[in-house]
């Protein structure tokens, strides 16, 4: 297991006096991972948050995202925002002061990475949407207020074969993804695999967080136009959320206690 995650889990055990209580640790850590996945599910299915919609609308205007790709684009953007700082003002504030901040950042990144694995395996056209969404989110991140930190954790961690608390992470989270149908397409609207042919066999799997990070270095064409549009979106979101998050929030001390 990657050393950063290992140390975070040791800290998790020590905070809760779980040393020598294997069953308590296994139950506790997976209870907390389940809670983060529940949070993730609500995020992906939240149709009211404007951040992902605004970003994908900008991509559509710049002809990076087609109308039939909008539902998938919003889904991908929500995954990416969930993995970093959150989509809404409330999420950003909550993460600034939450317990086990670094461990939760790591687990959120793992959940997002496994979800993107499934998205790419399931839909052959997810590749291009993902690349464009990553580029747009990256531009938006450069314009976030100074107190908002990209909390993507455990860079370089291999999720394939990763075991936490006696369970294989990829298969366990993968089962949750399938059970909740969170990657279903836009019902009755668009077949996301239409016209794909043998494209699935040519796809590069996302097997680690490092690979996902590499996607964030993709240069988006017409970056200046997207940047201008991103500035408009940023101002619109700030007005709708009644201001930016507390610029000191990300540096406040993490409270002690259980997750």
Domain assignment of residue 40, given as a range: 3-187+197-240
pLDDT for the residue 111: 92
Residue 253 within any structural domain of the chain? no
pLDDT for the residue 199: 46
Number of domains in the chain: 1
184 pLDDT more than 80: no
Over range 26-44, report the average pLDDT: 91
CB atoms within 10 A of CB 35: 13
Residue among 110, 101, 129 at smallest CA distance from 12: 101
Query: Worst-scoring range by mean pLDDT, 195-199, 218-222, 229-233?
Result: 218-222
State the chain's mean pLDDT as an integer: 73
Q: How far apart are the first and last CA of the chain?
A: 22
**CB neighbours of 81 closer than 8 A, spacing ≥ 6?**
43, 51, 52, 87, 137
Query: Worst-scoring range by mean pLDDT, 4-13, 30-39, 245-254?
Result: 245-254
18 pLDDT more than 50: yes
CA 108 to chain CA mean position, Å: 7
Task: With H, G, I as helix, E, B as strand and everything else as coil, classify residue 208.
Answer: strand
pLDDT for the residue 150: 52
Residue 106 within any structural domain of the chain? yes
Task: With H, G, I as helix, E, B as strand and everything else as coil, classify residue 164.
Answer: strand
32 pLDDT more than 90: yes
Over range 127-151, report the average pLDDT: 70
Residue 225 within any structural domain of the chain? yes
Instruction: Supply 44's token pair.
Output: 């992906």
Residue 222 within any structural domain of the chain? yes
193 pLDDT more than 90: no
Which pLDDT band, with edges at 50, 70 and 90, does 248 fall under?
Answer: very low
Residue 251 within any structural domain of the chain? no
Residue 128 within any structural domain of the chain? yes
Work out the angle between the directed axes of helices 22-45 and 169-180 (0-180°, nearest 10): 40
Residue 254 within any structural domain of the chain? no
pLDDT for the residue 234: 62
34 pLDDT more than 90: yes
Residue 248 within any structural domain of the chain? no
57 pLDDT more than 60: yes
Burial of 94 (0-12, 13-18, 19+ CB in 10 A): middle
Query: Worst-scoring range by mean pLDDT, 49-63, 94-108, 198-212?
Result: 198-212
Residue among 54, 43, 72, 80 at smallest CA distance from 187: 72
The HSE-up count of residue 135 (CA atoms within 13 Å, CB side) is 21
């Amino acid at each position: 297991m990657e050393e950063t995650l290992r140390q975070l889990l040791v800290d998790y055990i020590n905070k809760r006096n779980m040393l020598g209580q294997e069953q308590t640790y296994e139950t506790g850590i997976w209870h907390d991972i389940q809670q983060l996945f529940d949070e993730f599910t609500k995020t992906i299915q939240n149709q009211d948050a404007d951040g992902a919609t605004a970003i994908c609308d900008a991509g559509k205007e710049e002809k990076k995202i087609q109308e039939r790709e909008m539902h998938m684009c919003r889904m991908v953007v929500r995954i990416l925002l969930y993995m970093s700082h959150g989509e809404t003002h409330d999420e950003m504030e909550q993460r600034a002061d939450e317990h086990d901040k670094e461990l939760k950042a790591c687990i959120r990144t793992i959940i997002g990475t496994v979800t993107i694995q499934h998205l790419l395996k399931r839909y052959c056209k997810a590749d291009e949407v993902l690349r464009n969404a990553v580029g747009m989110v990256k531009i938006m991140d450069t314009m976030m207020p100074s107190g908002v930190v990209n909390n993507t954790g455990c860079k370089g961690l291999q999720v394939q074969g990763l075991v936490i608390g006696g369970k294989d992470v990829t298969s366990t989270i993968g089962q949750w993804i399938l059970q909740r149908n969170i990657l279903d397409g836009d019902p009755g609207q668009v077949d996301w695999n239409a016209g794909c042919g043998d494209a699935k066999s040519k796809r590069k799997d996302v097997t680690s967080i490092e690979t996902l990070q590499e996607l964030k270095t993709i240069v988006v064409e017409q970056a200046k136009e997207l940047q201008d549009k991103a500035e408009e979106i940023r101002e619109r979101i700030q007005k709708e959320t009644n201001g930016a998050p507390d610029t000191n929030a990300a540096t406040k001390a993490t409270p002690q206690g259980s997750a």
